[in-house]
Amino acid sequence: MAGKSAKKHKRGAGPISIILLLIAMICIAYGIIVLQYFRSQNWFNYIWFIVGALLLIFSFLFSGSAGLPSVVKWILGLIILAVLVNFGIYVYRVADYAFREPPENADWLIVLGAKVNGDQPSTEFSARIEKAAEYAAPRVGVEIINKSSFDHGLRIITTGGKGEDEGAAEGFVSARELNAHGIPWIRLLIEDKSTTTVENLEFAKEIILANGGSMQDKVLIVSSGFHLYRVSKLAAAAGYYNAEYLGATGLKVLVPHYVVREYAANIKERLLGSYGD
């Protein structure tokens, strides 16, 4: 009887199997939440269901029912651990950039574009615009007494072209909203052709150089907090030698989704050599 009981216990779900099962359920539940916020059918919006399914498979493999040799379980465990450690390091770096204090005396402020719904900024884009306005408002005058006095000091570049499903260029929408927050038009320079973060930075760089600036100027780049680590690597590759970063947060419930998406994008950028290192 004791032998049969031990054999039955061996075939049951162990602690690792149970933990993986619980995490899989959480991922699937979160995936349902994510889908409530996105209109587009981009495949990545289903990533939590994919991860959940993989974890369910791993949960079964780690159970006694799978009958896998211990050495195989060890190998699978080490692979999962390596992925988790790598992701953990990435999250730490993301958090480091997301919560940095901005410099007091930036020469240029670059607002990176994001989704526009019709001609209105999305929640995430609005957060970037509001963060930029919060920084810029105390540093620029509302009344223009002498135009020449505005030739120096903080200048703001809004970036982003018009996507196929957008009613207006992101750069224009950002500038319009900043003006509504009290930022004078004379302080705003609009870039409305870019379609990627790389182009945001490259075209903004062209505007800086065309308006008497240099890559030695202090540039403050505003984007979503989860986006800034990748932005920092792309900015360095683009020749921004004196860049600082200011993070904004839109819907907090979607931050985990965006962080995972950025993790995948970071791997892609490295494989493409976009970071230049």
Tokens of 65: 């029912």
Tell me the per-residue pLDDT of 4-15, one tens digit each, with 9 for 90 and over: 444 444 555 688
Q: What is the pLDDT of residue 13?
A: 62
Q: Please tell me whether residues 188 and 239 are part of one structural domain.
A: yes
Q: How confident is the model at residue 138 (pLDDT cuts 50, 70, 90)?
A: confident
Q: What percent of the chain has pLDDT over 90?
A: 75
Q: Is residue 167 domain-resident?
A: yes
Q: Please tell me whether residues 114 and 94 are part of one structural domain.
A: no
Q: What is the pLDDT of residue 162?
A: 94
Q: Is residue 103 domain-resident?
A: no
Q: Is residue 4 domain-resident?
A: no
Q: How many whole angstroms separate alpha carbon 27 and alpha carbon 130? A: 31
Q: Please tell me whether residues 114 and 226 are part of one structural domain.
A: yes
Q: Please tell me whether residues 248 and 157 are part of one structural domain.
A: yes
> What's the predicted TM-score (pTM) here?
0.87
Q: How confident is the model at residue 266 (pLDDT cuts 50, 70, 90)?
A: very high
- Work out whether strand 116-117 and strand 155-158 pair parallel, antiparallel, or are unpaired: unpaired
Q: Please tell me whether residues 131 and 54 are part of one structural domain.
A: no
- Domain containing 23 equals 12-98
Q: How many whole angstroms separate alpha carbon 156 and alpha carbon 129? A: 11
More confident residue, 177 or 6: 177
Domain end (from 53, 80, 98): 98
Q: Is residue 41 domain-resident?
A: yes
Tokens of 9: 């216990």
Q: Please tell me whether residues 115 and 244 are part of one structural domain.
A: yes
Q: Please tell me whether residues 89 and 119 are part of one structural domain.
A: no
Q: What is the identity of the amino acid at 166?
A: E
Tell me the per-residue pLDDT of 91-134, one tens digit each, with 9 for 90 and over: 999 999 999 999 888 999 999 999 999 999 999 999 999 999 99
Q: Is residue 27 domain-resident?
A: yes
Q: How many whole angstroms separate alpha carbon 151 and alpha carbon 267? A: 41
Burial class (CB in 10 A: 0-12, 13-18, 19+), 228: buried
Q: Please tell me whether residues 89 and 113 are part of one structural domain.
A: no
Q: Is residue 2 domain-resident?
A: no
Q: Please tell me whether residues 162 and 78 are part of one structural domain.
A: no
What three-state secondary structure class fits 186? helix
What three-state secondary structure class fits 182? coil
Q: Is residue 124 domain-resident?
A: yes
Q: Please tell me whether residues 60 and 138 are part of one structural domain.
A: no
Total number of domains constituting the chain = 2
Tokens of 110: 């670059």
Q: What percent of the chain has pLDDT over 70?
A: 90
Provide the sign of the torsion angle of the four alpha carbons 155, 160, 166, 168, taken in this order: positive
Q: Is residue 5 domain-resident?
A: no
What's 263's domain CATH number?
Answer: 3.40.50.620
Task: Judge contact between 205 and 214, C-beta under 8 A.
Answer: no
Domain end (from 63, 98, 133): 98
Helix (H) or strand (E) holding 184: none
Q: Please tell me whether residues 81 and 132 are part of one structural domain.
A: no
Task: Judge contact between 211 and 156, C-beta under 8 A.
Answer: no
Tell me the per-residue pLDDT of 183-213, one tens digit each, with 9 for 90 and over: 999 999 999 999 999 999 999 999 999 999 9
Look at residue 259 and tell me whether its pLDDT is greater than 80: yes
Domain end (from 69, 98, 127): 98
Q: Please tell me whether residues 139 and 267 are part of one structural domain.
A: yes
Q: What is the pLDDT of residue 70?
A: 87
Q: What is the pLDDT of residue 222?
A: 98
Helices (H), the chain: 2-10, 15-37, 47-62, 70-98, 123-136, 170-180, 197-210, 228-237, 255-272
Look at residue 1 and tell me whether its pLDDT is greater than 70: no
